[in-house]
């Protein structure tokens, strides 16, 4: 293009280079940045980059230009020492730099900002403060849950079993934690009271009663028996606690504890040596079961055909109670209980009777059309050691 005027000729050459991404090549970048950065474009009324706030973390944001990227997330920054960039520093925003570089050639990218503030990783001489106001309860989302990943490896390469589980702490918020060998220490908050909890991951049995009572906040207390009232009185170190359970420290039998006043509780009968605590519900959800076959690429699940399950037999060891719940699609849940009592066995009725054996649970469903859970809200032991499935598999076609 040429602009011509008397005695002047001006030529404008467009040398812009754009590499339009092909179909299916739009990138998705997960980035970590400093939080509440200034909007360098001046477009936001509060002066903060639009999607650089904690409330916007985890959202998928479509960005179509370098200017939009700066408006949404602020300019990418790097940690420096004096005036030299410290290479490889975890507080440098390499994710934003990658997105900025890509948008110099492409015209669309999706950005997800992690809910992490890189400012908090910088060293400082100022003592950090809690992320909540003094005099108020801790209300952080999911702070009452601890997520646990367990796995069993056959060797350094092959993982045989793995499972995720969640520990939920009722009316409690986790502030922090650490483990020392088999002991897990958690700093928790109940309302405005901070406590240190200790959890033995070895789950050792009690030497006297022969099993580990499944109660939280377990504490040994001594009661006082009154022959006049026929009641044993004890004092709870936790004050009045909803759902408090008393367990006989000699036999493992449980008793309903009645809160009379303040931290004072009573139970019926003469039971002076006690373990007290809060019972909790343990739930195991069984994964869908498939027929498996060995191929050149390893063992795979066969999803074609129909796999009809008749029963599942669970092997248990030294167990006194659990409830197997099977819920078929569009049908009611039915229950199969183990209570530890076996016809012909010796022992007293009010004393737990741990037993070892196999319990058969009817399924009568296609392998993907039901949910099976093993549930126990009892303080009594539950140890499932194995399972065996009986069913029919039918494939209408043959592989060639």
Domain definitions of the chain by residue range: 25-121, 145-199, 203-279, 282-394
Does pLDDT of 313 surpass 80? yes
Model confidence band, residue 16 (pLDDT cutoffs 50, 70, 90): low
CB 386 within 8 A of CB 326: no
Model confidence band, residue 124 (pLDDT cutoffs 50, 70, 90): confident
Q: How many CA atoms lie within 13 A of 263 on its CB side?
A: 8
Q: What is the pLDDT of residues 137-170, one digit of tens each?
A: 666 677 888 888 888 888 877 777 888 889 998 8
Report CA-CA distances (Å) from 187 to 144, 177, 357: 11, 6, 40
Does pLDDT of 136 surpass 70? no
Cβ neighbours of residue 74 under 8 Å, at least 6 residues apart? 33, 34, 37, 38, 39, 40, 49, 52
Model confidence band, residue 342 (pLDDT cutoffs 50, 70, 90): low
Q: What is the pLDDT of residue 226?
A: 93
Does pLDDT of 11 surpass 80? no
* Separation CA 319–CA 348 (nearest Å): 17
Model confidence band, residue 241 (pLDDT cutoffs 50, 70, 90): confident
Q: What is the pLDDT of residue 337?
A: 93
Does pLDDT of 82 surpass 90? no
pTM of the model: 0.63
Q: What is the pLDDT of residue 365?
A: 92
Does pLDDT of 116 surpass 90? no
Pick the more confident residue, 310 or 169: 310
- Scan for tokens 């050792």, then name that residue: 204
Mean pLDDT score, 34-46:
88
How much is the mean pLDDT over the chain? 85
Q: What is the pLDDT of residues 330-339, one digit of tens each?
A: 999 999 999 8
Model confidence band, residue 377 (pLDDT cutoffs 50, 70, 90): very high
Which residue stretches of the chain are H helix? Answer: 66-73, 94-102
Does pLDDT of 126 surpass 80? no
Model confidence band, residue 234 (pLDDT cutoffs 50, 70, 90): very high
Does pLDDT of 68 surpass 60? yes
Please state, for a pLDDT cut of 90, what percent of the chain lies above it.
36
Structure tokens at 395: 């494939």
Q: What is the pLDDT of residue 134?
A: 65
Please state, for a pLDDT cut of 70, what percent of the chain lies above it.
88
Does pLDDT of 358 surpass 90? yes
Reported CATH class of domain 282-394: mainly beta
Q: What is the pLDDT of residue 301?
A: 83
CB 394 within 8 A of CB 305: yes
Does pLDDT of 222 surpass 90? yes
Does pLDDT of 261 surpass 80? yes
Q: What is the pLDDT of residue 307?
A: 92
Mean pLDDT score, 275-291:
91
Q: What is the DSSP string of 197-236?
A: EEEETT-PPPTTTSS---EEEEEEEE-EEETTTTEEEEE-
Q: What is the pLDDT of residue 230?
A: 93
Pick the more confident residue, 127 or 364: 364
Does pLDDT of 22 surpass 70? no
């Amino acid at each position: 293009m040429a602009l011509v005027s008397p005695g002047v000729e001006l030529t404008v050459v467009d040398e812009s280079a754009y590499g339009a991404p092909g179909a299916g090549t739009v990138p998705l970048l997960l980035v970590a940045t400093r939080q509440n950065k200034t909007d360098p474009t001046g477009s936001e009324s509060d002066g903060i980059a639009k999607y650089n706030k904690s409330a916007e973390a985890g959202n998928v944001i479509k960005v179509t230009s370098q200017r939009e990227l700066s408006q949404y997330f602020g300019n990418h920054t790097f940690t420096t020492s004096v005036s030299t960039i410290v290479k490889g520093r975890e507080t440098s925003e390499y994710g934003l730099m990658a997105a900025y570089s890509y948008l110099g050639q492409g015209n669309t990218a999706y950005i997800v900002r992690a809910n992490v503030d890189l400012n908090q990783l910088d060293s400082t001489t100022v003592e950090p403060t809690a992320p909540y106001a003094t005099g108020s309860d801790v209300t952080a989302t999911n702070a009452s849950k601890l997520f646990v990943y367990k796995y069993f490896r056959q060797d350094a390469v092959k993982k045989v079993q793995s499972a995720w589980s969640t520990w939920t702490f009722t009316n409690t918020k986790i502030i922090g934690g650490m483990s020392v060998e088999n002991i897990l220490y958690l700093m928790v908050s109940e309302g405005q009271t901070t406590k240190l909890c200790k959890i033995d991951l070895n789950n050792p049995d009690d030497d006297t009663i022969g099993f580990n009572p499944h109660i939280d906040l377990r504490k040994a207390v001594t009661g006082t028996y009154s022959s006049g009232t026929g009641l044993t009185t004890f004092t709870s170190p936790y004050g009045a606690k909803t759902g408090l359970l008393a367990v006989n420290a000699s036999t493992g039998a449980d008793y309903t504890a009645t809160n009379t006043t303040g931290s004072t509780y009573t139970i019926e009968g003469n039971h002076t040596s006690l373990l007290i605590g809060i019972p909790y519900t343990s739930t195991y959800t069984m994964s869908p079961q498939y027929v498996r076959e060995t191929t050149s690429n390893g063992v795979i699940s066969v999803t074609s055909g129909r796999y009809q399950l008749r029963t599942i037999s669970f092997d248990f060891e030294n167990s006194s109670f659990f409830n197997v719940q099977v819920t078929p699609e569009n049908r009611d849940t039915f229950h199969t209980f183990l209570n530890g009592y076996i016809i012909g066995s010796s022992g007293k009725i009010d004393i737990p009777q741990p037993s070892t054996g196999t319990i058969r649970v009817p399924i009568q469903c296609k392998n993907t059309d039901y949910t099976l859970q093993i549930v126990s809200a009892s303080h009594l032991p539950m140890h499932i050691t194995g399972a065996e499935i009986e069913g029919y598999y039918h494939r209408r076609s043959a592989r060639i």
